[in-house]
Amino acid sequence: MLRSAPAEDAFTCARAFAGAESMDRLCVLVRDFAAPMGYDRFLIFSASANAEDPIDRIYWVEGDWFEDGSFVDADAYVRRCPVNRHVTEVRESFFWTKTRDAEGERYRIVRHPRGRGVHGLQVPVFGPTGLEGAISFGGLRIDTSFHTQLALEIIARAAFVAMRARLEGANKPAATALTDREREVLTWIAVGRRHVEIADTLGLSERTIENHLRRIRKRLGVTTTAQAIHVAIRTGEILA
């Protein structure tokens, strides 16, 4: 149930993620690392800007999340799970417990999961735009030591970054309305940069930034740049 050197193992394993040649291989790396610690259920998703529906895209679900042998229906279940919503309110990983009684399923965020039910650890992944994704590891009897928590945080981050590069890098939405440059400019606006700062960062002139913003507003059919942020997040052009 325990790894003798979770830290060392996590560091070594983390390196393998970048070189994995397939999604299958990435899943194997996660599975093989977590299994000795009691984790045999996995969920990895990218985050949306919408706190009401925090999941943008589900990269991977595996394991008996329902405790009844049925498979998770991602859109009917994972998106409604309060644990997956709680991740929008935290700044570090947390343990959770799911039990089931006569009144249905009951979730709790806990420091030390124990007893009956499925337990797990959820790890948020942050980046320049804030919450970018999350990973849940689940199981019936899991290792909840501090070293295991840190080790899984490392694995979670490496796995998420590798899966996102693989799944999102190649097939960004084809039906996107904004060009790559427009999206980039708007993303910088969304995180608070001024025109002159964005120009500096991108090595362009302020006039060019103004022009991109004008085109963005026209293309999205909005009157203000603030509204463009709002619309772009809703349509998935930019993430929060």
Q: Give the CA distances from residue 217 to residues 12, 141, 186, 212, in Å, rounded to whole numbers and listed in that order.
A: 47, 52, 10, 9
Q: Which stretches of 69-128 are DSSP H helices?
A: 74-77, 82-86
Of the candidate spans 8-16, 34-42, 91-99, 206-214, the one that interacts with DNA by CB under 7 A turns out to be 206-214
Site string for DNA, 151-180 (x = CB under 7 A): ----------------------------xx
Q: Is 190 in the site for a copy of itself (CB under 8 A)?
A: yes
Nearer to a copy of itself, 21 or 146 (CB): 146
Interacting residue with a copy of itself among 21, 22, 24, 52 (CB under 8 A): 52
Nearest CA to 122 out of 158, 142, 92, 146 is that of 92
Residue at 24: amino acid letter: D
Q: How far is the CB of 206 from DNA (least distance, A)?
A: 7
Interacting residue with DNA among 80, 114, 116, 194 (CB under 7 A): 194
Contacted by 207, from a copy of itself, DNA, none: CB < 5 to 8 Å by type: DNA
Q: Is 35 in the site for DNA (CB under 7 A)?
A: no
Q: Is 50 in the site for a copy of itself (CB under 8 A)?
A: yes
Interacting residue with a copy of itself among 10, 34, 43, 61 (CB under 8 A): 10
CA 20 from chain centre, in angstroms, equals 19
Residue 238, C-beta contacts closer than 8 angstroms, at least 6 positions apart: 49, 129, 183, 186, 187, 190, 229, 232
Task: Quickly count helices (H) and strands (E) in the chain.
Answer: 9, 6
* Coil, strand or helix at 145: coil
Contacted by 182, from a copy of itself, DNA, none: CB < 5 to 8 Å by type: DNA
Residues that bind DNA (CB under 7 A): 179-182, 194-196, 199, 202, 204-208, 210-215, 217, 223-226
